[in-house]
Amino acid sequence: MSDTAVQTKEVTPQVSGAPVAADALQTRLDAMRLPAGGFTAAARADALRRLRDMGLPGPRDEYWRFTNPRDFNAPAPAPISVPEKMQDSPLFQDLDRLKLIFVDGEFDAAASDSLAHEGIEIEMLAQADEVADHWAKGIYGSLEAAGQKPVNRPFAALNTVASRDGMLIRVTGKPSKPVHIVHRRASEDADVTWHHVIRAEEGAELTLLETGMVGARSNGMIEADLARGAKLNYIGARQAVHQKLELSHIFARVESEAQLKAFVLSVNGTLMRHETIVDIVGDDALAHVAGAVLGDGNDGPFHHDDTIFITHGGLRCESRQVYKKVLKNGAEGVFQGKILVKPGAQKTDGYQISQALLLDEHSQFLAKPELEIYADDVVCSHGSTTGAIDETALFYLRSRGVPKERAIVFLVLSFLADALEEIEDEDLRGQISDRLEAWLTRHENQ
Amino acid sequence: MLKINNLHVKLEEEDKQILKGLSLEVPAGQVHAVMGPNGSGKSTLSYVLSGRDGYEVTEGEATLDGNDLLDMEPEERAAAGLFLAFQYPVEIPGVGNMTFLRTAVNAQRKARGVAEMSSAEFLKAIRAKASELQIDAEMLKRPVNVGFSGGEKKRNEILQMAMLEPRMCIMDETDSGLDVDAMRLVADGVNALRSPDRSFLVITHYQRLLNHIQPDVVHIMSNGRIVKSGGPELALQVEEEGYGDLLAEAG
Ligand SMILES: Nc1ncnc2c1ncn2[C@@H]1O[C@H](COP(=O)(O)OP(=O)(O)O)[C@@H](O)[C@H]1O
Ligand SMILES: [Mg+2]
């Protein structure tokens, strides 16, 4: 791992690979029911134009070299069977929270809590989009559009074009409980797209949890706009059904003194790509993004890709990227993470670590860490490691009588600890940790 | 209790013989010390007895209460009553001391067919033992050995030993890196555990620990073998004269 008080410039030229044929995109679009949009109409039209310009990604695209986009490009996902009973009980169910249910990407008001709560205004995109004007108009599709430079993100544009529903949350105060989005799946071939917009006003604070089972294929997005001093804690944890194709996007704009903390847990999944794009535009702001991934190829093919891009545009801001992947039986992990420090963004403190723990020789981890720095008074470090279970630590635990498989569970949890530390709330962290442990225990002997 | 006979051990990865016909017997209730220059194979002996990978036994045997140790997995040896206090205790971030130790205690109990300890019982027992060793209750909640001083790590080893109640304790240079006060705490902890059906093999480079833990027998080890055994006076001789004369005399 390199610790550099840097002036390094690692500029990667953009290779624009041959776009996948335009008719493939048309077929993809034809397979969807595209909304016309009310207040989002202009943003959707703009996104469609951008999408046609960039086309669907091909394996030769610089940022799709490690992840084959074929299944995301396909007009429809293969149907998958929904198990009768999940192995894990739903997360956070004993928590005092505002529970909002989405079924195949559409809000289910009857199953959800009332939207009215102090300090927060919640509406649903499907209804709100019937009118021509809305506070979310300036945000919907605009953070996404801004995040398309310098790297094309066609599925993000597709999301803006195609999302029918999602939440529009305006946080004006400090709501007393977290908002918890729970996804449910109704049909076996659901190809689901949703788009949340969050605007946290000055000094407002929100904890947002997103869990549950998404469709056979999903493309989710959060656009989060944090005003001065606002704080957003996000924890995403999708349920463990193995066969799923999952794209997710977080686009955040962070103003002065605002704080974004995002943690995503991924267990199982055939093909997943999580993109997190954070634009720090003010001074003294903070952005921490983290993820923990567990993949076992014995459950089926497993490929998980975290693609992160953090831009520092203000003074004295801090960013951290902490990504950990535990891979076994041929599971594949990818990390592409970048810190861009713009000219004048002095006293930036940027940190990035991506690590994989390979539990056998068949699994693999590919990492592409990047720093691009145009200010001279900054501290940025990045490191990436791939390793196996530490034999000395394993022996230490076993010499105390801890059986080997159990000792490995301890060491995996130990490996993931830094990423989990990024979850501020101790109770939430404990629940995520229990979930990890349950998965590890189930996968001990396979 | 512990019987080692003509033990020959080489490294698995390279053709290097480290133990070259080592024999040793520790009867129940006794404390034996093993002293020897660096590189003589003391740590290797402790690792081979407790089952660490990377070593190959080419000849000889080692038994605990008549059971073949060398055939067992490390955790089976622990359940059979063997404990190794490490020369360098390992740090395990993200895993609580308490969680780890309770898992270890209950895994051993389960292996022996004894009822597992409840959280409350465990908590009570560990608090009592920690306070005897002057281990802060806060330390118990911290991750295993993370941020512990050298002395704290060694005391934590003794705490684990006290909780696991092994029959045969091997201590590898538990005195290294300890100041006088810390060493006394460790020695008191060990002395408190002495009993007619528990034995100790205390590996040390220096005599000073043996002022606090009185050994019944002292063995001098050199180049993979025990070259001389005697009473506590042997340790004093090492202290005064160094290993030179002793080893020369032993040939
Ligand atoms: N895993 C290993 N790889 C290479 N050499 C080793 C290994 N373990 C022990 N040795 C060598 O074996 C000899 C004995 O080492 P050790 O048992 O640590 O001695 P002591 O504890 O008495 O200082 C030394 O020469 C050491 O370098
Ligand atoms: Mg040694």
CA atoms within 13 A on the CB side of B87: 14
Instruction: Specify whether the CB–CB gap between B24 and B2 falls below 8 A.
Output: yes
pLDDT of residue B14: 93
Residue A429: inside a domain: no
Helical segments of A55-203, H only: 70-73, 125-128, 142-146, 154-162
Type of residue numbered A300: G
Tracing tokens 């002293």 back to the chain, one arrives at: B35
> Which H, E and C letters describe B197-220, residue by residue?
CEEEEEEECCCHHHHHCCCCEEEE
Strands (E), chain B: 2-11, 17-26, 31-35, 55-64, 67-68, 82-85, 92-96, 143-144, 168-172, 199-204, 217-222, 225-230
Residue A426: inside a domain: no
Distance of alpha carbon B57 from alpha carbon B84, whole angstroms: 19
Strands (E), A147-212: 167-171, 179-184, 191-200, 205-212
Residue A405: inside a domain: no
Residue A143: inside a domain: yes
Residue A5: inside a domain: no
Q: Whole domain around residue A100: which residue ranges?
A: 22-389
Distance of alpha carbon B165 from alpha carbon A203, whole angstroms: 56
Distance of alpha carbon B163 from alpha carbon B93, whole angstroms: 21
Can you read off the two tokens belonging to residue B26?
């520790």
Contact B104 A392 (CB under 8 A): no
Contact B101 A400 (CB under 8 A): yes
Instruction: Specify whether the CB–CB gap between A257 and A228 falls below 8 A.
Output: yes
Can you read off the two tokens belonging to residue A383?
């490191």
State which ligand 1 atom lies nearest to the alpha carbon of B46. Answer: 17
Give Dmax over CA atoms of chain B in angstroms.
57
Q: Helix or strand or coil: residue B238?
A: helix
Write the pLDDT tens digit of every residue in B107-129. 999 999 999 999 999 999 999 98
Contact A417 B107 (CB under 8 A): no
Write the pLDDT tens digit of every residue in A225-247. 999 999 999 999 976 567 789 99
Distance of alpha carbon A446 from alpha carbon A298, whole angstroms: 7
Q: Whole domain around residue B97: which residue ranges?
A: 2-250
Residue A50: inside a domain: yes
The closest of A383, A249, A254 to A314, measured between CA atoms, is A254
- B6: domain CATH number is 3.40.50.300
Pocket of ligand 1 (CB under 6 A): B 11, 18, 36, 38-44, 54
Ligand nearest to the CA of B34: 1
User: How would you classify residue B175: left for phi > 0, otherwise alpha for psi between -120 and 50, otherwise beta?
Assistant: alpha
Question: For chain A, what is the domain count?
Answer: 1
Distance B205 CA to ligand 1 centre (A): 14
B14 contact partners, CB below 8 Å, separation of at least 6: none
B21 contact partners, CB below 8 Å, separation of at least 6: B6, B7, B8, B59, B60, B224, B225
Number of Cβ within 10 Å of residue B205's Cβ equals: 17
Question: For chain B, what is the domain count?
Answer: 1
- Mean pLDDT, residues B149-176 taken together: 92
Instruction: Specify whether the CB–CB gap between A285 and A316 falls below 8 A.
Output: no
Write the pLDDT tens digit of every residue in B61-107. 999 999 999 999 999 999 999 999 998 999 999 999 999 999 999 99
Instruction: Specify whether the CB–CB gap between A192 and A219 falls below 8 A.
Output: yes
Q: Helix or strand or coil: residue B241?
A: helix
Write the pLDDT tens digit of every residue in B96-111. 999 999 999 999 999 9
Q: What is the ipTM of this complex?
A: 0.96
Q: Which of the residues B90, B141, B142, B145 would you substitute to probe the A interface, choosing the one with the greatest number of A C-beta atoms within 10 Å?
A: B90
Residue A49: inside a domain: yes
Facing A392 at nearest CB: one of B74, B90, B94: B90
- How far does the CA of residue B86 sit from the closest CA of chain A (Å)? 8
Ligand nearest to the CA of B44: 1
Higher pLDDT, A11 or B137: B137
Residue A420: inside a domain: no
Distance B49 CA to ligand 2 centre (A): 14
Residues of chain A positioned with their CB less than 8 A from the CB of B100: 397, 400, 402, 410
pLDDT of residue B248: 79
Distance B17 CA to ligand 1 centre (A): 10
Instruction: Specify whether the CB–CB gap between A247 and A155 falls below 8 A.
Output: yes
Buried b (16+ CB within 10 A) or exposed e, B32-42: bbbbbbeebbb
From chain A, which residues contact B within 8 Å (Cβ)?
391-393, 395-404, 406, 410-411, 413-418, 420
Tracing tokens 């989005």 back to the chain, one arrives at: A181
pLDDT of residue A16: 46
Distance B88 CA to ligand 2 centre (A): 9
Instruction: Specify whether the CB–CB gap between A245 and A216 falls below 8 A.
Output: yes
Q: What is the pLDDT along chain A (446 residues), one digit of tens a residue?
A: 333 333 333 334 444 444 557 789 999 999 998 999 999 999 999 999 999 999 999 878 889 999 999 999 999 998 887 666 666 778 998 999 999 999 999 999 999 999 999 999 999 999 999 999 999 999 999 999 999 998 999 999 999 999 999 999 999 999 999 999 999 988 888 999 999 999 999 999 999 999 998 889 999 999 999 999 999 999 999 765 677 899 999 999 999 999 999 999 998 889 999 999 999 999 999 999 999 999 999 988 999 999 999 999 999 999 999 999 999 999 999 999 999 999 999 999 999 999 999 999 999 999 999 999 999 999 999 999 999 999 999 999 999 999 999 999 999 999 999 999 999 999 999 999 998 988 888 888 76
Q: Which of the residues A353, A396, A406, A437 would you substitute to probe the B interface, choosing the one with the greatest number of B C-beta atoms within 10 Å?
A: A396
- How far does the CA of residue B160 sit from the closest CA of chain A (Å)? 8
- How far, rounded to the nearest angstrom, does the alpha carbon of residue B10 sit from its chain's CA centroid? 21
pLDDT of residue B51: 97
Can you read off the two tokens belonging to residue B85?
């206090």
Distance of alpha carbon B15 from alpha carbon B55, whole angstroms: 11
Distance of alpha carbon B165 from alpha carbon B126, whole angstroms: 12
